Copies of this chain bind each other. A is one copy, B any other.
Amino acid sequence: MATDSDTPLSRRERERRTRRQAMLRAAESVFAEKGYPHATLEEIAERAEFGKGTLYNYFEGGKEEIFFAVLDTIYDELCDLIARSVADAANGTDPRARYHALVVRALAFYHDREDLFVILIKEAYRMCFSHDASKVAYFQRQQERMVNALLPMLQQADENGALRDLPLEAIAHLLIENIDGLIVHRAIMANHPDRPTSCQHQSILDDPEKAATFLTTMLFDGVAAPPSA
């Protein structure tokens, strides 16, 4: 990570990384389309414009190593997204504004790079119920990273007395999970716009701003009617 620019890389090494990146991008699109089990190395190689054997020069561990390398980039981007939204001074210290910004960015990210999210949603839940302990541990570690990226904001809010007295990790999990949930919900509805749905519901799904406001209100203030109104 930190060694990226320590020493100027040789052309060899630069080319090697470029090729590796190309392979990862190809893998990304194939995994997203087919899901892990139906993705074939043949197709990944073809899209990356390499022979299948070449993949093994870059990823000794074969299909699985490629897959986890793709997952790593996804989680890196997500953690970065969370950290940036939370740290953005424009949102002040109001946890609602910060969460709202996070949701909007997450939806934009989904819009730009649908592939990545789809891989996560298709594979992550499967992995966390896998019987292979190392896979479960990987997933757990990545979840923890995301929660930790969100925690500073919650801690600050908590110190300001803005939060109910509940475990912060649990709140962080809930806030993150619900973003996934929202994206899934939007995706399902987008695929089949012909179902009967109230206009209000539809507009919440269509407009990222409204969706973010909806989720922020739901989670921070609850679905119960406010006492005064």
Residues in A lying within 8 Å of B, measured CB to CB: 33, 35, 37-38, 95-96, 118, 121-123, 125-126, 128-129, 131, 133, 136-137, 139-140, 143-144, 161-167, 169-171, 173-175, 177-178, 181, 184-185, 187-188, 191-192, 195, 197-198, 200-201, 204, 214, 217-226
Contacts and interface: CB of A to CB of B under 8 A. Distances in A.
Q: How many copies does the complex hold?
A: 2
Contacts of A218: 166, 171, 174, 219, 222
B192 A140 contact: yes
Contacts of A171: 218, 223
Contacts of A144: 195
Contact of A118 (B129, B198, B225): B129
Contacts of A185: 173, 177
Given A128-B184, A220-B223, A225-B164, A204 B121 contact: no
4 pairs of A and B residues whose beta carbons are closest in the complex: A222-B222, A167-B201, A37-B37, A221-B222
Contact of A188 (B33, B126, B139, B223): B139
Contacts of A170: 201, 204, 214
Contacts of A139: 188
Main DSSP-derived SS at the A contact region: helix
Interface centre among A126, A140, A162, A222 (most CB of B within 10 A): A222
A141 B167 CA distance: 36
A181 B173 CA distance: 9
A122 B131 contact: no
